Amino acid sequence: MKYIRELEGLRGIMALWVVLGHVLAALAPLFGSFPNNLYNSYPVQVFIILSGFVIFAMLDRGPQSYPRYIIGRAFRILPVYWVALLISIISLPIATEILHASPHGVATDGRIQIIEIAQSNLFFHILAHIPLLQGVLPTSVLPYASLTLVGQAWSLTVEWQFYLVAPLLFLMLTSLGRVSARIAVISITAACWIVSPYMESGFLGNNLPMFCAGFLSYFAFKNFLQKLSQQQLISVAALSIAFTLVFLRDFSAPLIIWIITFLSIVSAKFSGSSNVIGSILSTRFVTYLGRISYPLYMIHMQVLFASMWLSNTLELSESSRIVVIPVIGVVASIAAADIFHRIVEVPFHEFGRRISANPLTRRNGLDAA
């Protein structure tokens, strides 16, 4: 499958949405009953849908050994994550002081509580975070493990769990003609359904509907969506949205965002005509945000705490903070993400590609596709 520029743009807008929500949550209520965080769990769920789509598209390119596949994925996400994790661990005491010294924001109490939980059992939280498997720990074993240290990484541990099992899922779903594959799919789904109530938000099983939406979208894109007219695509969108509202109400917002955006992209790609959504997502700035979206997602909280510290140091009034913290928080986060993208993300990604291309990683491995 060819590179789809608009999906890069979608990733950029979703990352910016997350950053804005976290920044505004540091302030007192701004919009009445509408939450300061701008419902920023929705864009995170769109990220998860995107991962399901992209990973299955990658696996469908052709067979590769499992070591080659997982090395490439590891070098794609772990270096930036580990740097963000180290900064977060070092800055935990400072973050607590900043939160206590700042005017009370809608997320202040929750953030202080999470930091205190992390500090009360720091060694085990670090131990869980290093391999990015904090999401597989039951709530009874290490409470709030998905959210401590690097709170936004709750979704990253979900993604890493998906990466680990995606080749097996792909193999099963492309072999549904076999009874054994059907039994395996049903068994895994049932196991996740049984275990999920005892797990936190960072557990793969609690996010399977989003991944399913992503990889089912890929199969639909590959097999029939490209052949449909614009009118038929509109009908598919309407039916998909109706199904979502009736049967998947808990996930309806991110799914509707994905359905409308994805089918708009498909329509523009194969009809030869542009539309508003595709045009916005393919602009230079939006696709630039998409390129730096991963470090932007990972390091923006540290930048937010720095902007709050600056506001405290300058003794800014609450009205001034409403302007200063969002502006500095967003602009400085983009600047920091650009730096991380250049000096950490890209070099390590390229290094991982070179390692995974080594003949030793291509021989004697399980097929990843």
DSSP string covering 103-167, please? Answer: PP-TTHHHHHHHHHHHHHTHHHHHHHHTTT-GGGS-TTTSTTTTTSSSGGGHHHHHHHHHHHHHH
User: Contact, 289 vs 274, CB < 8 A?
Assistant: no
- For residue 366, give the 3-state DSSP assignment: coil
Q: Using alpha carbons only, what angle is made at residue 314 by residues 309 and 318, rounded to the nearest 5 degrees?
A: 80
Contacts 24+ apart (CB under 8 A), 134-138: 134/202, 135/161, 135/199, 135/200, 135/201, 135/202, 135/203, 135/204, 136/161, 136/199, 136/202, 136/203, 136/204, 137/200, 138/198, 138/199
How high is the pLDDT of residue 360? 58
What is residue 367's predicted lDDT score, i.e. its pLDDT? 38
- Confidence (pLDDT) at 332: 98
> Could you tell me which of 296, 189, 222 has the C-alpha nearest to residue 58?
222
Low-confidence ranges of the chain (pLDDT < 50): 364-369
Distance CA 73, CA 67 (A): 10
How is residue 45 written in tokens?
Answer: 């769920």
pLDDT of residue 362: 54
Residue 190 burial (CB count, 10 A)? 10
Give residue 180's pLDDT.
80
Q: Please report the pLDDT score of residue 178 as a whole number.
A: 79
User: CA distances (Å), 144 to each of 136, 149, 237, 298, 304, in order?
Assistant: 11, 10, 37, 18, 22
Determine contact, residues 80/345, Cβ cutoff 8 Å: yes
Type of residue at 139: T
The DSSP line for 196-218 is: GGGS-TTSGGGGHHHHHHHHHHH
How many residues does the structure list for the chain?
369
At residue 38, what is the residue type?
A: L
Calpha distance 185→225 (Å, rounded): 25
DSSP string, 31-58: BTTB-TTTTTHHHHHHHHHHHHHHHHHH
pLDDT of residue 368: 38
> DSSP code of 309?
H
Backbone angles phi, psi at 22, to 5 degrees: -70, -40
Q: State how far the Cα of 139 lies from the Cα of 45, in Å rounded to an integer.
A: 21
